[in-house]
Amino acid sequence: MRHSLFVYDDDDRLVEEIAPFLLSGLVGGEPVVVVLDRRKWERLARALGAHADRVLHVERDAFYTRPEAAVAGYDATLRRFVRAGASAIRVFGELPRCETDADRDRWLTYEAILNRAFVHQPVWVVCGYDTREVSGPLLDGALDTHPELLANDWDVSPHYHEPEDVVRSRTPTPASLPDLRTLPVPRDARAFRRALSAQLEAAGVPRPEAWSMLVAAEEVLANAERHGGGAPKVRVGRVDDRFVCEISDHGPGIGDPLAGFLPPRPGHVSGAGLWVARQLTTQLELVPSQTGATVRLSV
Amino acid sequence: MAVAFVRDRLQRGDKVVYFRDRDDADALVSSLERLDPGAIATGQFEVRRSRDVYLPDGRFDADRMLALLRDEHDRARADGYSGLSLTGEIPDAVWELPGGEQVGAYEARLASEVDAPECSILCQYGHARSGRGLPSDVIEAHDVDLGPELAAIGRDGELAAARDRQRDALRLAGELDFGCAQTVSDVLDAYSRGPLHLDLADLTYVDVAGMRALRGRTRQRLTISPASDAVRRLLALLGWDTDPDIELVETGWS
């Protein structure tokens, strides 16, 4: 995988650099994906002429709902292209507008994760940062998270930081939730699902979300049983408009800040449980704990 | 498993009769009833106590039972149904009662004597209950069998396994989680050779460890058809939808 940064300040510049980038993929028979708002895509499409028909255009704000979903979306798209025989794929994309510092940190975390998520795929991703829309701190973060940037040519970025460091430093520490209720220690997975299911129903959580929470929580429980020394503690409850389930074990904790962010790969056996849990919940947080690992799930 | 059978046969226009033995089968029966409440009202779907059918006087009589099934079948056809489908449990008590030794011969005669193409029968035997394999003559008489080597699966969790001889498929029904994944994996490794065809329409719950168990240690080729929603969703999340060794065959009705 190549993951490159392109900074620009007007539409002409965008067309001048990115149309040739896409075109050289298209004439080489590569699948090409563009994740961009409609207005900018139309400018690019005019420049590509008839070739534009072979580009998979995805509307930016519909695609970038949250980082976990965006990683899964790219993963599925890349896997299908590779399965169909592609040996090289090009992607040009722009992040959604980040209105808050928290949004900015979430999407920079996502940029960092990309560097590890698709190392095995034959893809070149170029990320556009439009200085008319992007703040200074976001642009600084973009320099940290792209190994390569376009200056005179595609150059190695001197600012690049390891993804683990970026994710660690940009993930807020979750506050403790003292008001959650403790459930009895589950006898086995089935008993755990029955107990959690009753809590979800009592809290009025709609069915699809309840199913997602059941599967996600059971995966975290499975991890706690395997690595966490057994007898995990389970706490649940409503927090504002969310339903939260927290599972604590006595193990060494989850040291890798990218745990559960990387798509499962054939032949790699570990880590898929947390991936599933992250995909199915609106948020999975690693809560600092003195006695072991605590994972907090929200739907 | 029974749910898939009943759903399938009701859609085909059969009269369906479910013989119920276990008192703890309420959940199953109510899920069957929810399938098609209209079918209960019209009498297309009936649930009966299997003890009353098989053992009305405390003994099992193969001739009486076969005659009863033939009558049922004729009546269903006379009432305008496309055929008769029967499923359910033979009462556990049958093995201990007079006539119990006739069950194997009865099952064999079922196949030859009630041989109308519009009559189909899915026999269920609870492994967990009998605690032993079934007599081999009973197993031989079925297109669907629960070979004794599959028994371990049923003992470990809320999960049942059966082999469908006609389609050469293994059906799993119930909940497959990390608690029973190891057993499933061991059984598959020990007894399945080459590509594996799985019917997972009634696997209502499955987790990552459970999905992995289906691949066994040999990572054999898998064909899954049909699959429940739970299976389908997890399969996509795990990226198995593009794995060249796994095929998910979509079916119309699930």
Using an 8 Å CB-CB cutoff, list chain B residues near A72. 237
Q: Whole-model pTM?
A: 0.76
Half-sphere exposure of A293 (CA within 13 A, CB side): 23
Asked if the C-beta of B239 comes within 8 angstroms of chain A's C-beta atoms, the answer is yes
Q: Do B208 and A276 touch (CB under 8 A)?
A: yes
Work out the mean pLDDT of chain B and round it to a whole number. Answer: 76
Select the residue of A75, A219, A269 nearest B239 (Cβ to Cβ): A75
Per the DSSP assignment, residues forming a β-bridge with A248 are A233, A294
Q: Which residue has the higher pLDDT, B142 or A12?
A: A12
Select the residue of B175, B205, B208 nearest A272 (Cβ to Cβ): B208
* pLDDT at residue number B27: 64
Q: How far does B54 lie from chain A, in Å, by closest CA? A: 34
Q: How far does B61 lie from chain A, in Å, by closest CA? A: 40
Q: Note the ipTM here.
A: 0.89
B105 and B211 housed in the same domain = no
* pLDDT at residue number B126: 46
Q: Which of A109, A139, A170 is the last residue of a domain?
A: A170
Q: Do A275 and B237 touch (CB under 8 A)?
A: yes
Q: Is the peptide bond before B226 cis (omega within 30 degrees of 0)?
A: yes
A186 and A165 housed in the same domain = no
CATH code at B223? 3.30.750.24
**Is the CB of residue A16 less than 8 Å from the CB of residue A161?**
no
Using an 8 Å CB-CB cutoff, list chain B residues near A211. 230
Structural domain span for residue B170: 145-254
Asked if the C-beta of A197 comes within 8 angstroms of chain B's C-beta atoms, the answer is no
Q: Which residue has the higher pLDDT, B43 or B218?
A: B43
B239 and B118 housed in the same domain = no
Note down pLDDT in tens along chain A; length 299 residues: 999 999 999 999 999 999 999 999 999 999 999 999 999 999 999 999 999 999 999 999 999 999 999 999 999 999 999 999 999 999 999 999 999 999 999 999 999 999 999 999 999 999 999 999 999 999 999 999 999 999 888 899 999 999 999 999 999 999 999 999 999 988 888 899 999 999 999 999 999 999 999 999 999 999 888 887 777 899 999 999 999 999 999 888 888 999 999 999 877 767 899 999 999 999 999 998 888 889 999 99
CATH code at A240? 3.30.565.10
Q: Do B208 and A273 touch (CB under 8 A)?
A: yes
* pLDDT at residue number B131: 36
* pLDDT at residue number B143: 47
Structural domain span for residue A93: 2-170
Select the residue of B175, B208, B239 nearest A190 (Cβ to Cβ): B175
B130 and B39 housed in the same domain = yes
Q: Which residue has the higher pLDDT, B199 or B128?
A: B199
Phi, psi (rounded to 5 degrees) for B198: -115, 135
The pLDDT tens digits for B75-111 are 888 888 888 887 777 777 777 788 877 777 777 677 6
A107 and A206 housed in the same domain = no
Using an 8 Å CB-CB cutoff, list chain B residues near A271. none
* pLDDT at residue number B238: 93
The pLDDT tens digits for B148-188 are 556 666 555 578 777 777 777 888 888 999 888 888 888 88
Q: Which of A78, A190, A223 best probes binding to B when mutated, by most B CB atoms within 10 angstroms?
A: A190
Q: Lowest-confidence range among A259-273, B20-34, B221-235?
A: B20-34
B136 and B160 housed in the same domain = no
Residue A175 counted as domain residue: no
Q: Tell me how many domains chain A contains.
A: 2
With cut-offs at 50, 70 and 90, classify the pLDDT of residue B133: very low
Q: What angle, 0 to 180 degrees and rounded to 10, lies between the N-to-C axes of helices A272-280 and B229-237?
A: 110
Residue A120 counted as domain residue: yes
CATH code at B68? 3.40.50.300
Q: Tell me how many domains chain B contains.
A: 2
Q: Which of A170, A203, A237 is the last residue of a domain?
A: A170
**Is the CB of residue A260 less than 8 Å from the CB of residue A111?**
no
With cut-offs at 50, 70 and 90, classify the pLDDT of residue B14: confident
Using an 8 Å CB-CB cutoff, list chain A residues near B175. 190, 193
Asked if the C-beta of B95 comes within 8 angstroms of chain A's C-beta atoms, the answer is no
B5 and B115 housed in the same domain = yes
